[in-house]
Amino acid sequence: MASVPKFGTRQLLEVVEALPVGIQIVDDSGVSIYANKAGVVHGGLSGKGRKSNASGLVIRYERVKIHLNDRPHEVCLSYNVTEQCQREDELYKHAYFDVLTGLPNRAFLEQTTIEMIQEPGVTFALAFIDLDGFKQVNDVYGHTVGDALLVHVAERLSAEVRKSDILARIGGDEFMLCLSPVASKENVSAIVDRCLRKIKQPFEIAGQKIFASASIGVSFYPGDGDTFAMLCAAADHAMYGVKADTKGRFQFYDCGDRHPGLRVSIADLRPDEFRRRAADLTSATKHLPAKTG
């Protein structure tokens, strides 16, 4: 049987010093009596959970109470989780933000509105924004210019909304604006009209002057629906009403209109039937051919 080599105090201290885990020992008077190299680098912050130190590292701390020579001590263990947090941030951005514009995506907007709906007394509006003739921009100027136009539109719209509002790109040439709080329809009209006028101002892209416009449909919570799917369907219907009439405008959803695909007046539907049919419509639109503007 092989003999086990002796492991002395010096070797043990060398191992502790080399550990990537920070170790700091504090006596019952709050005086630090020991810290290994990692503990010094991590900054010796107190408490639990994650904190950032002066070096920009994200450190996770745990505290353990022990007794040494019949006196209480605390051992602070610290772990460098900077890379883990960076990976988590990247996954979060990939899941909830649009790569091209940097705006929140549909999943982020949906989750946020679901949380808002659960708050008592909250009111908000959803504005469905669809760029007019975007396919023609791609066909004439190319997709690089088309992508640049989407980025510029996102920048202009972001500059016009309030800090409490959320602007999201939900796909292709479609954006959605969640306006909250809503003081009145006149207040929403002013914001949406301002957005329309900004989009109609010419864009300078790659030496070309690009003109654009948008058609917008607006729905209100809780008046036009009590789920994200219902509100989206209502705003989408209002937007298509603009497309069918005169593009480049906005209109509010009218619950008395007959919704395409539902075949009956929304006003006549029970809430549970409305939710089911709105969800069916939202699912069906995923399979529709691309719009031509």
Give the separation between CA 174 and CA 169, rounded to whole angstroms. 6
Annotated catalytic residue, options 98, 173, 224, 236: 173
Q: Can 173 be counted among the known catalytic residues?
A: yes
> Cβ-count burial of 204 within 10 angstroms (0-12 exposed, 13-18 middle, 19+ buried)?
exposed
Q: Tell me the catalytic residues.
A: 173
